[in-house]
C-alpha cells in the first residue's frame, strides 16, 4: 500500500464509511489540475455542485432542530457561518482529506493541497459522493461529525467581517451600498488570483487581491475602511 492508498484508507476510517463505488470516491478526491484539464480525467467539479446542495440541506435541518423558534433571518446568518469554504476546509482537514486528494505536482507545489478554496470544494464533492453511494443519512452523519466544532463556534463572539463593516459605515454616512467589481482573474484554476475593486460614492475606489473573489472583496473593503479617518467625501452641489 502506497502513501496515498493509506491516506484514502485513513479517510474512510475517520468518516466511518467504506465506499461501494470506488470510482465515485476516486472522482470526489480528484482535483481538476490532474491531467491539466483533460476531458478524459473525471475530476470532482460536478460533484461539488451536488455536494453544496446536500450540505446546505443538512445544515438547515440541523439549525431548525436545534432551535424550533428561531427566525428565518437568524437561521440564514448561522447558515452562512456553517456553509462556506473556510468551514468546509476545516472539516476536510479533520477528516484527513488533504492527504487523500489526487492532484498534480504543480498544484501541490503552489500550496493547493492546503488551500481553503480547494479543500472546501473537495469537501463538498466528498459529501456528494457519500450522498450518492450511501444516501442522505450517510451524508448527514458526515456533516454532524465533522461540523461539531463549527457549531461550537456559533456561540463565540465574533467580529464583523470587513464587507459588513463597510456596508454599515456607508449606510451610517447616508451613502449607497458599496459596489464591488472584478478587475481581473489570473493564474490556473487550481491557484487563481482575483483583483477586485470597491467603490463608495464620493470616495476613490480601492483595489485588492485575493485567492478567491470573496477574499479579494474583503481585502478591498478593509482598504476602504482605512479611509474613514480621512477627509469627508466631496459631493457636488446641485
Query: Residue 157 has which C-alpha cell?
Result: 463572539
Are the CB atoms for 236 and 181 separated by under 8 Å? no
Q: How many residues does the chain have?
A: 238
Annotated active-site residue 133? The verdict is no
Annotated catalytic residue within 48, 52, 133, 206: 52
| Catalytic annotation, pick one of 116, 124, 133, 206 | 124
Q: In three state form, how does the secondary structure of 165-225 look? A: HHHHHHHHCCCCCCEEEEEEEECCCCCCEEEEEEECCCCCCEEEEECCHHHHHHHHHHHHH
CB 78 within 8 A of CB 63: yes
* Known catalytic membership, residue 124: yes
User: So which residues are the catalytic ones?
Assistant: 52, 124
Amino acid at each position: 500500500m502506497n502513501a496515498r492508498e493509506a491516506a484514502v484508507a485513513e479517510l474512510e476510517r475517520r468518516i466511518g464509511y467504506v465506499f461501494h463505488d470506488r470510482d465515485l470516491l476516486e472522482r470526489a478526491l480528484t482535483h481538476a489540475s490532474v491531467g491539466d484539464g483533460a476531458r478524459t480525467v473525471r475530476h470532482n467539479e460536478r460533484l461539488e455542485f451536488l455536494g453544496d446542495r446536500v450540505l446546505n440541506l443538512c445544515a438547515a435541518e440541523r439549525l431548525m432542530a436545534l432551535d424550533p423558534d428561531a427566525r428565518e433571518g437568524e437561521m440564514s446568518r448561522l447558515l452562512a457561518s456553517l456553509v462556506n469554504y473556510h468551514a468546509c476546509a476545516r472539516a476536510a482537514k479533520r477528516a484527513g482529506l488533504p492527504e487523500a486528494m489526487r492532484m498534480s505536482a504543480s498544484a501541490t507545489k503552489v500550496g493547493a493541497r492546503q488551500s481553503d478554496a480547494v479543500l472546501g470544494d473537495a469537501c463538498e464533492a466528498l459529501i456528494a459522493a457519500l450522498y450518492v453511494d450511501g444516501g442522505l443519512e450517510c451524508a448527514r452523519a458526515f456533516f454532524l461529525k465533522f461540523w461539531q466544532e463549527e457549531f461550537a463556534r456559533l456561540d463565540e463572539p465574533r467580529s464583523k467581517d470587513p464587507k459588513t463593516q463597510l456596508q454599515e459605515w456607508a449606510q451610517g454616512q447616508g451613502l449607497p451600498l458599496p459596489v464591488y467589481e472584478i478587475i481581473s482573474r489570473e493564474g490556473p484554476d487550481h491557484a487563481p488570483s482575483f483583483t477586485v475593486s470597491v467603490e463608495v460614492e464620493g470616495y476613490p475606489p480601492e483595489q485588492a487581491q485575493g485567492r478567491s473573489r470573496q477574499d479579494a472583496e474583503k481585502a478591498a473593503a478593509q482598504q476602504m475602511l482605512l479611509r474613514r479617518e480621512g477627509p469627508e467625501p466631496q459631493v457636488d452641489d446641485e
